Amino acid sequence: MTDVIIIGAGPAAVSAALTLRMRGKTVQMLYAGGGALEKAHRVDNYPGMPRISGKDMLDIMHRQAVEAGAEMKKAVVQLVQPGKKKVTVLAGNEIFTCKTLLIATGAPRKIGIDGEADLLGQGVSYCATCDGMFYKGKSVAVIGSFEEAVEDTAFLCDIAAKVAYFPEAAHDLETLDKRAEKMTQKVLSMEKKQEQVLLRTEDGELMYDGVFVLRPAVALSQLVPKLETAGGKIVTDEDGATNIPRVYAAGDATGLPYQIGKAVGEGNRAALRMARDMAAMEEGGQ
Ligand SMILES: Cc1cc2nc3c(=O)[nH]c(=O)nc-3n(C[C@H](O)[C@H](O)[C@H](O)COP(=O)(O)OP(=O)(O)OC[C@H]3O[C@@H](n4cnc5c(N)ncnc54)[C@H](O)[C@@H]3O)c2cc1C
């Protein structure tokens, strides 16, 4: 068990990781990709780093985090399960545990297709490795938006009788398994129909036994059930503590302004609070 898991590797996450390392805490960062900063062509308002691209800034930050002793692992976190004595985190096919968790997942956005959340576990899955075997000899649709979805499709092609791949966002499809049918239509909504999942697309309706939705992002309500949000952003106190004990948040995830300086400041403040709370937990024998 690590002291802290941080979801994300943007400015808020790195800032928190550095401070937590300075407080002697073990830190595991789990991140899906580059986040908002990677998209910034040029940043001119962050002190000490003039005329720098977002990508270069992020590279420097990541190097600094690793040099400070934080562990960085590329993995999409699917589910956080807070408990009385620890927090359990499901990422890809792995399970991690920690004493405290920081959510630094960036700006809130609408994630998901109409009907998707209602069918989770009832024909819709977010994990090919976990649930692929349920579809042996059956038909599945993959709604994918990044390279790992393409990789997982090959695994599903080994199991299922029929696989259709619906690209949800632009990504490299060069290595898509030849056994998968590449679809061009956009999926608009889904619903359960006679033990199958009906996908409503721009061009009509299609039925599959199962649907795998493989994205580098997860809706907050699904990531941390019962987490208090308002207008999509995570509600915290002035130190970044959420309504769930052991769970904290920082950066764009807590709302405007979407700025590096604000993300770094909140990451730092949450880290100090987490270190304080962990000390109190230890004193209290938790
Ligand atoms: C085009 C553009 C230009 C910008 N220019 C500027 C500028 O000039 N100055 C300025 O101050 N700000 C600028 N910003 C805003 C700035 O980039 C953000 O405010 C800042 O990056 C927020 O940091 P963050 O750590 O909160 O989130 P992000 O940097 O968005 O990082 C979020 C992290 O969470 C990860 N993540 C999300 N969900 C999951 C999951 N389920 N599992 C694992 N990991 C997950 C992502 O992969 C990423 O690592 C710009 C933003 C954009 C898009």
Do 194 and 228 belong to one domain?
Answer: no
Q: Could you tell me if the CB of 39 is within 6 A of ligand 1?
A: yes
Do 190 and 54 belong to one domain?
Answer: no
**Which pLDDT belongs to residue 139?**
98
**Which pLDDT belongs to residue 110?**
80
Q: Which atom of ligand 1 is nearest to the CA of 42?
A: 8
Q: What CATH number does residue 39 fall under?
A: 3.50.50.60
Hey, which residues does 204 pair with through a beta bridge? 201
Strands 196-201 and 204-208: antiparallel
pLDDT, tens digit (0-9, with 9 covering 90-100), for 105-135: 999 888 889 999 899 889 999 889 889 999 9
**Which pLDDT belongs to residue 216?**
85
- 251 Cβ partners below 8 Å, 6+ apart? 8, 10, 11, 12, 13, 104, 106, 262, 263, 266, 267
Domain boundary among 193, 214, 235: 214
Do 150 and 193 belong to one domain?
Answer: yes
Q: Which atom of ligand 1 is nearest to the CA of 39?
A: 1
Other C-beta atoms closer than 10 Å to the C-beta of 170 total 7
Q: What is the pTM of this model?
A: 0.89
Q: Could you tell me if the CB of 13 is within 6 A of ligand 1?
A: yes
For 124, the domain range is 117-214
**Which pLDDT belongs to residue 120?**
87
CA gap 97, 246 in Å, rounded:
12
Strands (E), 67-203: 71-74, 77-82, 87-91, 94-103, 124-125, 139-144, 162-167, 180-182, 187-193, 196-201
Q: Could you tell me if the CB of 17 is within 6 A of ligand 1?
A: no
**Which pLDDT belongs to residue 109?**
81
Residues, the chain, total?
286
**Which pLDDT belongs to residue 6?**
98
Do 206 and 223 belong to one domain?
Answer: no
**Rounded to 5°, angle at Cα 9 from 103 and 104:** 20
Q: Could you tell me if the CB of 146 is within 6 A of ligand 1?
A: no
**Which pLDDT belongs to residue 153?**
97
CA of residue 259 to ligand 1 center, whole Å: 9
DSSP string, 184-249: -SPEEEEEEETTEEEEEETTEEEEESEEEEE-S---HHHHSTT--EETTEEP--TTSB-SSTTEEE
* Residue with CA nearest ligand 1 atom 33: 8
Structural domain count, the chain? 2
**Which pLDDT belongs to residue 126?**
86
pLDDT, tens digit (0-9, with 9 covering 90-100), for 219-267: 898 899 999 999 999 999 999 999 999 999 999 999 999 999 999 999 9
**Which pLDDT belongs to residue 285?**
79
Q: Give the amino acid at 22.
A: M
* Residue with CA nearest ligand 1 atom 27: 106
> In order along the chain (286 residues), what is the average pLDDT of each group of 10 residues?
98 98 98 94 96 97 98 94 95 92 92 90 89 96 94 96 96 96 96 96 96 90 92 96 98 97 98 97 85
CA gap 258, 275 in Å, rounded:
25
